Amino acid sequence: MQLLDGKKTSEDIKQEIAAEVQKMKANGEKVPHLAAVLVGNNGASLTYVGSKVRSCEQIGFESTLVSLPETITESELLAKIADLNEDDNLDGFIVQLPLPKHINEEKILMAIHPDKDVDGFHPTNFGKMALEMETFLPATPFGIMQLLERYKVETAGKHTVVIGRSHIVGRPMSILMSRKGYPGDSTVTLTHSRTKNIEEYTKNADIIITALGVPNYLKADMVKDGVVVIDVGITRVEDASHPKGYVITGDVDFDEVSKKSSFITPVPGGVGPMTIAMLLQNTLLARQIRARK
């Protein structure tokens, strides 16, 4: 069994991007500039945005944090997004989710210009991904593809089972794994909460990508020997014996499933760190595309 180490791989990618930024600086070119929009003060969102800003500093990007009050109206937020779309100094920006209840998330994400949508959520970018055109891939699926590629996991002709059909992970993963070329060329089955007898699919899977959000859902008796397991789930589970009072758990019963796996991602330290690295990769691409134009 080999661990797909997202922490190490994400650091490698950040170093590669930092080297690219150094070249840009040496040539007198503008360095990439990423902005993050944070509405309110949700604890988890503050942590995520803080780590994104720190990562930008670490690799030499410019970064801007746009902090807005929880009470902001939808129209005020849309006006702010219109300003960011027009700001020539910015290469890309993200709106940290979740947003307060009174704001329609879909309306906000649709308002981001596709050329600055480094999260890869806009329908224009999603469509380009499906058509195998150059675009910003959603950061978490992009990170998973990088892990498979950098660890030379064989994907061609393999049966990949994706558990979960969210627009952020499950659905894009099913498209990416079936695209032509490496890593891809897989035969993909997309399963979800309405799939009957999921274990019939998982037992025959060469690769399982689970993004369900149910702790320890995937058990050893649901997989075959030699399976590749990508665990996107991340849930806080109360644990009185732990100093923090909780543990971070994935969708996979890691201790047991890892014994049957050829490759597996840990939680934490697997897919999570890759997501931020790929957001930075998308921002670099945004800068390169803007420079070409």
Catalytic residues: 52, 96, 119
164 is in an annotated binding site: yes
CA-to-CA separations, 29 to 21, 24, 89, 244, in angstroms, rounded: 9, 5, 13, 45
Q: d(Cα 213, Cα 267) in Å, to the nearest integer?
A: 12
Return the structure tokens found at 78. Answer: 């849309």
165 is in an annotated binding site: yes
Cα atoms in the 13 Å half-sphere on the side-chain side of 167: 10
166 is in an annotated binding site: yes
- Contact at 8 Å (CB) between 206 and 160? yes
Q: d(Cα 68, Cα 81) in Å, to the nearest integer?
A: 12
Task: Return binding residues for NADP(+).
Answer: 164-166, 234
